Structure 1
Amino acid sequence: MKKQTNTVFIVSLLISIVFIVIGFLFPEEFQARATTVQNFLQEKFGWFYLLSATSFLIFVLYLAFSKFGKIKLGEPDDKPEYSTITWFAMLFSAGMGIGLVFWGVAEPISHFYTPPSGEGGNAASAQAALRYSFFHWGLHPWGIYTLIGLSLAYFKFRKGAPGLISAIFTPLIGDKVNGPIGKTIDIIAVFATIFGVATSLGLGAVQISGGLSYVTDIANNFTTQLIIIAVVTVLFTLSAQTGLNKGIKYLSNLNIILAVILMLFLLFASSTNFIMDVFVQSLGNYLQYLPSMSLKLSPFRPSEAGWIQGWTVFYWAWWIAWAPFVGTFIARVSKGRTIREFILGVLLVPTLFGALWFSIFGGAALHLEIFNNVGLNKIITDKGTEIALFALFENLPFGMIMSLLAIFLISTFFITSADSATFVLGMQTRHGRLDPSSKTKFIWGMVIAAAAAILLYSGGLEALQTASIIAAFPFAFVMIFMMVALQKALSEEKPKS
């Protein structure tokens, strides 16, 4: 068993180093080749990503309301290790904290002016902007996370299996999970995790750099972004040494407090009634259009098809690439909860929080754009997507204070995500150990930081998106068979409370 673990660690590390070195030595060619692969996957397999993500969501909803919902992730008398609030804070901070801050203003404004269909800049495109923002950050991504997290938690805490992705496939391939097939599955999971997390950390570095440049005279360039990555790497490496119950737990709770402060400030500093009306109406629109959006590809409208590939397909690939990381982390902190409690908690609470987030940040931005004509879209076009949030705050009271608070929040999300990722990668490459060594976490921390830096160096935001889509493709197949394995294992036992 130790030999298998060492193999996964060594092979995963070597593959990562090869990609980092190639990206450093040949950045333009690296980006060009990666973009070619990305375009191929988006154009030829967009349908596959949409079907996969929707299937994962339907499957976990079925489990929540099936006879298996009462099964506990652990022994019958096990109690949850963390309070519900702390549990939610930890999974949310790991799940999509940086992304929400980055896209909370930028995505609705982008969709407002460039909707999937029809003219932009009107009431219809404003509704579509928030509906699709809800869609991209709602039930589908958390359904993807839920499938991974539930599978790992069930096999780890219910069956006593190692905390490895490959262990989930024991009902299908038996002892072969300890051979080349199992190693390959774990290596694919590690590869997806590294580049999925690197994408998010790259976004965080870009937005911190953009925010600093917007409120100070610091230049927003690769050098600044590299310094930010280096500083945050030191911080999350120190945090990682404190363990799960200190660094990650405390930072996760801090993240939620800061995020709520920002939300409440914006809610009351902007048009409160307008934002709450937007929330209620957009939530209804999201639920109404959810089935059609889930399977929409627009083959008869090339321009709309391109929009879906650039947004929805990218997001689904990004969430799948993040899934082994977030899923493993959620599983680790979810012992003692029932399958029904786990699924509904992971699906519904973050989805509602995300919907409220986009209603407040996106709604405030749209209100300024529609009724005050402040030109946020022009600012974003001229200075970059990462400036959107700070351009919004500039038009509100205490804008400088809120911008500085937002920069601090992005930094803590950055640290928490990277901290959690090193923990998860340590588990996945050390035979599922729940307490990977500090040395292992340090190595993966350096790899993630280097991957984020190289992706920004070779192509900026486009390179970050490219990495996610490529890394997600093989892991999507792993998740499909994961559904089969979990269903088979559940059908072989009687539900217990």
Structure 2
Amino acid sequence: MKQTAIGPVFWVSVVASALIVLWGALAPDNFAAVTDRLFGHVVSGLSWFFLLAANLFLVFVIYLGVSKYGRIKLGKENDRPEFGRPSWFAMMFQAGMGPAIIFWGLAEPLSHYVNVPFDLAKPGSDEAAGLSIQYSFFHWALHPWAIYATAGLAVAYFTHRKGEKGLLSAIFRPLIGDRVDGPAGKVIDILAVLAVVFGIAVALGQAGLQMTAGLGQTFGLSTGIIVQLVVLGLTTAAFMVSATTRIEHGIKWLANISMLIAPLLLVFYFVVGPTITQLNVFTEGTGNYLSNLIPMSFRLDAFSPDNEWMGSWTVFYWSWWIAWAPYVGLFMARISRGRSIREFVAATVLVPSVVSMIWISVFGGSALQLAGSGQASAIAETVKQSPAAGMFVFIQEYPLPILLSIISLVVLWVFFVAGADAGTVVLGELSTGGDQNPKTWIRLLWGALLACVAAILLVSGGLGALQKASVLIGTPFTIVLVAICVAFYKTLSREYVEPRGERSHEQLVEQPTESEGRKTPQ
């Protein structure tokens, strides 16, 4: 039986994560002060870099999907998909968004309604409502999924088709050769592990905040830090139990359950809510989003470089998605053997973008109508003070609020457990040389460290600390992800060319890679 490789990537990553936990636990004020300063420098000096990089990733994956490379299979020619499309999509969506879309699908539109992006409209106006949907679509549709797909495509191609280990460092072989097997490759994998740790910790922290807020609104429980940590501890125990099972038995079933309950919740609010308004919001919001996609993608408010809104929203989101990219990308790659590049792009960029926009239209659109009519203006004020509580204040305006709150908590909890479980798989794989089935104790160790990092971030500053940590860890990994685009395209362009004399057929011919070429007898 193949032994799990416990090497420097594992030990350095574990020690670095543990040191951060100790720093936050022993000196929380110093931890918060340092991250605040670093966050300010990144937002004021590198916002342009995050925007350009996110645009690059979107153009890159769309090009691969529609180009001649779209026919390429992520695997050998006789490989067949391991999972059916419903389960495949469910697992990818819960890994890519999970509890986050429940957290922000309603909270973000209301937040922009009272704190309008770039002060483009009067807060609380109809114009502000339209902008809030437009920018919510911008933050949750094409760009984030393209970031995930960039990492996922590259890993899936090199792993399933070229036989490389399931590591981000393996993608760099076309650029740095066999140095990917040495210290350079180890550094890349360590950065990927730390990005995953903080990306998931941010998601777990946000889920813990919303579950605590939901319990407070529904049952009158305290929402203080002690309760937040208890909720985090209980859900950590649940996903660590799930981590002891195989993907086919744990993550797959959790994802299927979540993707069954969540649509039912969506349909309920669509039927009993302001259906015409929701349809109008989706239609108008889609038009505004698509027609303003390029301006939004490059807008920085250049003459106000210290713009607080930019750092709290777009820069935070782009850095969070980038920090989460190795986790989501490796997990997507792990379950996508046998799919084509075109099918992968459609399922990871286009379809989930539409689903996210529908969710925001139903929940955000309904909440905006209530807030705008004055019927429930407290919702907007509550979200301004505590975004995590917005969903559960909104539920109080509908029939059966207790039942709906419990169902919402269940959906959130299942997303939480499934996403964290998938995270332990990816962390185990990244830290053990690409082992797709790391030992249970390794997954449990990473599960414990994830919970500890999330707890430290909650203690040191709540939601603000979660956002700052995401931006800081996403900064160095943005460079890694840009380099992945270069390495991946270099490999595709070299290995798949049109044979001379057969251009009209657009036939792609696979050429041996450098490493394969050395193995061929002369």
- TM (norm. structure 1) is 0.97
* Paired residues of 1:197 and 1:421 also in contact (CA < 8 A): yes
Question: In structure 2, how many angstroms separate the alpha carbons of the residues matched to 1:496 and 1:435?
Answer: 33
Aligned-pair CA distance for 1:320: 0.4
Matched residue, 1:410: 412
Question: In structure 2, how many angstroms separate the alpha carbons of the residues matched to 1:318 and 1:275?
Answer: 28
Question: In structure 2, how many angstroms separate the alpha carbons of the residues matched to 1:496 and 1:404?
Answer: 55
Give CA-to-partner distance per residue, 1:468-493, whole Å, 9 cap, x none.
01110110000111011001111122
Task: Show the 5 A alignment for 1:77-92.
Answer: 77-92=78-93
Matched residue, 1:114: 115
Aligned-pair CA distance for 1:250: 0.4
* Paired residues of 2:4 and 2:435 also in contact (CA < 8 A): no
Residue type of the alignment partner of 1:251: L
* Paired residues of 1:89 and 1:253 also in contact (CA < 8 A): yes
* Paired residues of 2:4 and 2:438 also in contact (CA < 8 A): no
Give CA-to-partner distance per residue, 1:274-304, whole Å, 9 cap, x none.
101111110111111111111110113568x
Task: Show the 5 A alignment for 1:24-63.
Answer: 24-63=25-64
* Alignment pair present for 1:310 and 2:316: no
Could you list the runs of 4 or more consecutive aligned residues of structure 1 that deviate by over 6 angstroms after TM superposition?
Answer: 1-4
Question: In structure 2, how many angstroms separate the alpha carbons of the residues matched to 1:496 and 1:358?
Answer: 44
Residue type of the alignment partner of 1:14: V
Residue type of the alignment partner of 2:36: T
Matched residue, 1:96: 97
Matched residue, 1:76: 77
* Paired residues of 2:83 and 2:335 also in contact (CA < 8 A): yes
Q: Relative to 1, partners in 2 of residues 1:335 and 1:114: Cα closer, same or farther, differing over 3 Å?
A: same
Question: In structure 2, how many angstroms separate the alpha carbons of the residues matched to 1:269 and 1:262?
Answer: 11
Secondary structure of the 2:286 match is helix
* Alignment pair present for 1:321 and 2:291: no
Matched residue, 1:64: 65
Secondary structure of the 1:492 match is helix
Matched residue, 1:461: 463
Residue type of the alignment partner of 1:407: L
2:171 to 168, 173, 176: 168
Question: In structure 2, how many angstroms separate the alpha carbons of the residues matched to 1:356 and 1:44?
Answer: 34
Matched residue, 1:133: 136
Matched residue, 2:227: 224
1:275 to 273, 278, 283: 278
1:333 to 329, 332, 335: 335
Matched residue, 1:142: 145
Aligned-pair CA distance for 1:372: 4.0
Q: Relative to 1, partners in 2 of residues 1:101 and 1:3: Cα closer, same or farther, differing over 3 Å?
A: closer
Question: In structure 2, how many angstroms separate the alpha carbons of the residues matched to 1:238 and 1:314?
Answer: 31
Question: In structure 1, how many angstroms separate the alpha carbons of the residues matched to 2:402 and 2:4?
Answer: 54
Give CA-to-partner distance per residue, 1:67-90, whole Å, 9 cap, x none.
111110001121111111111100
Question: In structure 1, how many angstroms separate the alpha carbons of the residues matched to 2:167 and 2:45?
Answer: 31
Matched residue, 1:426: 428
Aligned-pair CA distance for 1:105: 1.2
Residue type of the alignment partner of 1:157: H
Question: In structure 2, how many angstroms separate the alpha carbons of the residues matched to 1:453 and 1:276?
Answer: 39
* Paired residues of 1:4 and 1:183 also in contact (CA < 8 A): no
Matched residue, 1:300: 303
Matched residue, 2:240: 237
Secondary structure of the 1:284 match is helix
Give CA-to-partner distance per residue, 1:390-437, whole Å, 9 cap, x none.
010001111111111111111111101110000000000111111111
Give CA-to-partner distance per residue, 1:348-385, whole Å, 9 cap, x none.
11100000000001001011111243121222345x21
Question: In structure 2, how many angstroms separate the alpha carbons of the residues matched to 1:184 and 1:252?
Answer: 32
1:477 to 476, 479, 486: 479
Moved more, 263-272 or 6-15: 263-272
* Paired residues of 1:252 and 1:416 also in contact (CA < 8 A): yes
Q: Relative to 1, partners in 2 of residues 1:396 and 1:372: Cα closer, same or farther, differing over 3 Å?
A: farther
Question: In structure 1, how many angstroms separate the alpha carbons of the residues matched to 2:450 and 2:303?
Answer: 40
Residue type of the alignment partner of 1:16: S
Question: In structure 1, how many angstroms separate the alpha carbons of the residues matched to 2:38 and 2:206?
Answer: 21
Give CA-to-partner distance per residue, 1:249-280, whole Å, 9 cap, x none.
00001111111111111111211011011111
Question: In structure 2, how many angstroms separate the alpha carbons of the residues matched to 1:128 and 1:379?
Answer: 20
* Paired residues of 1:144 and 1:320 also in contact (CA < 8 A): yes
Residue type of the alignment partner of 2:244: Q
Question: In structure 2, how many angstroms separate the alpha carbons of the residues matched to 1:31 and 1:496?
Answer: 54
* Paired residues of 1:76 and 1:496 also in contact (CA < 8 A): no
1:290 to 287, 290, 293: 293
Secondary structure of the 1:440 match is helix
Matched residue, 1:378: 381
Q: Relative to 1, partners in 2 of residues 1:433 and 1:283: Cα closer, same or farther, differing over 3 Å?
A: same
1:249 to 240, 247, 252: 252
Residue type of the alignment partner of 1:171: P
Q: Relative to 1, partners in 2 of residues 1:473 and 1:4: Cα closer, same or farther, differing over 3 Å?
A: farther
2:264 to 255, 261, 264: 261
Give CA-to-partner distance per residue, 1:155-187, whole Å, 9 cap, x none.
000100000010000111111001111000000
Question: In structure 1, how many angstroms separate the alpha carbons of the residues matched to 2:440 and 2:415?
Answer: 21
Secondary structure of the 2:124 match is coil
1:193 to 192, 196, 200: 196
Residue type of the alignment partner of 1:464: L
Question: In structure 2, how many angstroms separate the alpha carbons of the residues matched to 1:422 and 1:447?
Answer: 10
Question: In structure 2, how many angstroms separate the alpha carbons of the residues matched to 1:91 and 1:247?
Answer: 14
Aligned-pair CA distance for 1:104: 1.3
Question: In structure 2, how many angstroms separate the alpha carbons of the residues matched to 1:86 and 1:17?
Answer: 35
Question: In structure 2, how many angstroms separate the alpha carbons of the residues matched to 1:56 and 1:203?
Answer: 26
Question: In structure 1, how many angstroms separate the alpha carbons of the residues matched to 2:391 and 2:459?
Answer: 24
* Paired residues of 2:61 and 2:149 also in contact (CA < 8 A): yes
Matched residue, 2:502: none
Secondary structure of the 1:245 match is coil
Residue type of the alignment partner of 1:249: K
Aligned-pair CA distance for 1:309: 2.3
* Paired residues of 1:390 and 1:403 also in contact (CA < 8 A): yes
1:368 to 361, 370, 373: 370
Moved more, 367-376 or 483-492: 367-376
Matched residue, 1:23: 24
Question: In structure 1, how many angstroms separate the alpha carbons of the residues matched to 2:191 and 2:446?
Answer: 15
2:158 to 155, 159, 162: 155
* Alignment pair present for 1:391 and 2:393: yes
Q: Relative to 1, partners in 2 of residues 1:279 and 1:3: Cα closer, same or farther, differing over 3 Å?
A: closer
Aligned-pair CA distance for 1:118: 2.5
Matched residue, 2:184: 181
Question: In structure 1, how many angstroms separate the alpha carbons of the residues matched to 2:69 and 2:380?
Answer: 48
Question: In structure 2, how many angstroms separate the alpha carbons of the residues matched to 1:496 and 1:60?
Answer: 21
Aligned-pair CA distance for 1:5: 5.0
